[in-house]
Amino acid sequence: MPMDERKVMSNMTNVVQNIVLENREKLNITGVLDVLSFDDQIVILETELGLLTIKGENIRINKLSLDTSEVTVEGEISQLAYSDKDTIEKSGGFLSKIFK
């Protein structure tokens, strides 16, 4: 399903996204549409509510189920941040720096 169709569908329904962080070591996220990028210091997820960036050390994805829209990330998690994909692409900022 194209991104534009997903945005329209998510705007028509009540989107529920849960983020549970346990001891800054285990992060359970629902409402995940896709994993855009990941390494041991950063994970970028496309979610129902926008892009979610997770930063830290020794990060790994332990569970990934796009059928149920769930992701579990483990490691030393230091930062979570949402951003709008359109804003990032227009500025050429964050994502363009990662993929250089």
| Domain of residue 47, CATH code | 2.60.40.2000
Number of domains in the chain: 1
C-alpha 7/C-alpha 3 separation (Å) is: 6
Query: What is the average pLDDT across 31-50?
Result: 94
The domain in which residue 9 lies consists of 3-89
Choose the weakest-confidence range: 15-24, 36-45, 83-92: 83-92
31 DSSP 8-state letter: S
For residue 27, give the amino acid letter: L
Residue 98 in any domain: the answer is no
Residue-level pLDDT at 91? 45
Q: Is residue 95 part of a domain?
A: no
In a domain, 99, yes or no: no
E-assigned strand segments in the chain: 19-22, 26-30, 32-38, 42-47, 50-65, 70-83
